[in-house]
Structure 1
């Protein structure tokens, strides 16, 4: 899928990667390479950095630790000056700086900024990080991350931070979720109404719906049931299959994410009401499993310090 040059945010170009702490690094690496179909881009003594087939140096990093946590969400900044602008707007919007603009001391490099939002979620912004020259689309392999969904005890406040500090725009608001974009993808971040500030899920973009479906079969063969899907969402129009990965992390294979620009009419909850018994456009999927609903609120951010 070729992205258009449309820029919703003047500061943030897109979602690059998510970092997780896992209690057994070897088990997690085996799953995400052998079953989920990522490749190792780099490793250190206590972490592994995994890439898709796209240009991003890595889209998932796994770090050894005692419990499953989300360490940070990393976005691509549009420029080096954008990092300095973000350092200012984050503070103005109620966040705080954890690490000032400077060199990134991990594989991929570049310059980076690390912040905490008003609720303590750790967000990073990088520019000039390494990219892979062999980027492309390969059947059955994730290309990049397309979105991350974060639970929020106060969606309106979190949404206001993403809009004021990061320049995101609202694409749609449903009864339970706000979908925010920084570029042509319908959403790079979605915020779910919840009683915790936690990770809901991470979505990996596949090259086509066949890859999403074959991925569901591959996951079932590996002992990971499809916890929701197959289906096609309303907001974003993307096809999906959801799973619970190792150590309780919810992950999604998705494809055909809607591409938008400023002509897109922002949707309200009344625009996204399904007929009774339906949970998506196709109407063939059962609702999310109880296990998925529990896992979608059980992984928390590491303390911001």
Structure 2
């Protein structure tokens, strides 16, 4: 586990239409409004995080604004600052009170060498622990970011944030900071786009019912249902109204320091299979295109 990062808190996006985003993410995706501001909308799940998605009014094309991680302590923020600079990152904002964010806390912001923007926070507001709610996301479990240089990206996450390689396949490096098998995964690609955002559901039933609800609303399953190899998690993938790839998942493998990372030779499917069950068809061409279209905003 990372000595500095506790886990993934939220992802911030620029979207073309906030009203349309609210309609989709509350009525169809089953999040709730945590806070509404001028040109911004914060959406929560059923878990303890104040919000999982921060949506901001943007231009005609969606962009990712930042990935927000939670630090283990106030001292960890200072360690992250020094590590980021040593690892070749660019500091965008020193640690400061986040008075403009409804979750509050203290946070710093930086970019990695490839221009991806991260925020690390400590002391942000949390809700009381409650029982998971059927058919509603609990929290984010991981975000997958494409990279044109997987070795450099993996090195930065390790040196700056203390992430550990969980597994590496021929197409992805799975990076871990807590008990979840992966928190940030790096999609090996020719671009640095957002690949997808994964929302943890309470159980298998919720993943499947979510798939039916999305199909009823006109958003077909683009990949799934199935069970992944690395992470052992259930999955259903979709594309939101703006072209952002989102995933319902459950039963993510829990690991500790004794977990031994495996490589591409250990993660090969038989011909014609793309998941453990052998049920799912391959990812759709539409999904593959969407996974390389949403980029980090240059000036978050």
TM-score normalised to structure 1 length: 0.97
3-state SS of 2:295 partner: strand
3-state SS of 1:81 partner: helix
Shift of 1:96: 1.0
- Please say if 1:149 is aligned against 2:144: yes
Distance (whole Å) between structure 2 residues aligned to residue 79 and residue 185 of structure 1: 19
Distance (whole Å) between structure 2 residues aligned to residue 175 and residue 191 of structure 1: 11
Name the structure 1 match of 2:44. Answer: 51
> What are the residue-to-residue correspondences of 1:117-266 with 2, within 5 Å?
117-133=112-128, 135-266=130-261
Distance (whole Å) between structure 2 residues aligned to residue 129 and residue 262 of structure 1: 27
Distance (whole Å) between structure 2 residues aligned to residue 89 and residue 187 of structure 1: 21
Alignment check: 8 A CA contact 1:209 1:255 kept: yes
Shift of 1:134: 5.1
Distance (whole Å) between structure 2 residues aligned to residue 65 and residue 171 of structure 1: 35
Name the structure 2 match of 1:93. Answer: 87
Per-residue CA deviation, residues 230-250 of structure 1 (Å, 9 max, x unaligned), is 000000000000000121000
Shift of 1:136: 3.0
Shift of 1:262: 1.1
Name the structure 2 match of 1:30. Answer: 23
Distance (whole Å) between structure 2 residues aligned to residue 153 and residue 168 of structure 1: 19
Equivalences, count: 298
Distance (whole Å) between structure 1 residues aligned to residue 158 and residue 109 of structure 2: 18
Distance (whole Å) between structure 2 residues aligned to residue 280 and residue 20 of structure 1: 29
Alignment check: 8 A CA contact 1:136 1:143 kept: no
Q: 1:17 aligns with which of 3, 7, 10?
A: 10
Measured on the aligned residues, the alpha-carbon RMSD in Å equals 0.8
Distance (whole Å) between structure 2 residues aligned to residue 304 and residue 238 of structure 1: 34
Per-residue CA deviation, residues 59-89 of structure 1 (Å, 9 max, x unaligned), is 0011001121000000000001111111100
3-state SS of 1:53 partner: coil
Distance (whole Å) between structure 2 residues aligned to residue 265 and residue 121 of structure 1: 28
Name the structure 2 match of 1:3. Answer: none
Structure 2 residue runs of 5 or longer lacking an equivalent are none
Per-residue CA deviation, residues 220-273 of structure 1 (Å, 9 max, x unaligned), is 000000000000000000000000012100000000000001111111001100
Distance (whole Å) between structure 1 residues aligned to residue 77 and residue 33 of structure 2: 28
Per-residue CA deviation, residues 43-69 of structure 1 (Å, 9 max, x unaligned), is 111000000000000000110011210
Q: Point out 4+ residue stretches in structure 1 off by more than 6 angstroms.
A: none
TM-score normalised to structure 2 length: 0.98
Per-residue CA deviation, residues 75-121 of structure 1 (Å, 9 max, x unaligned), is 00000111111110000000011010001121100000100001010
Name the structure 1 match of 2:35. Answer: 42
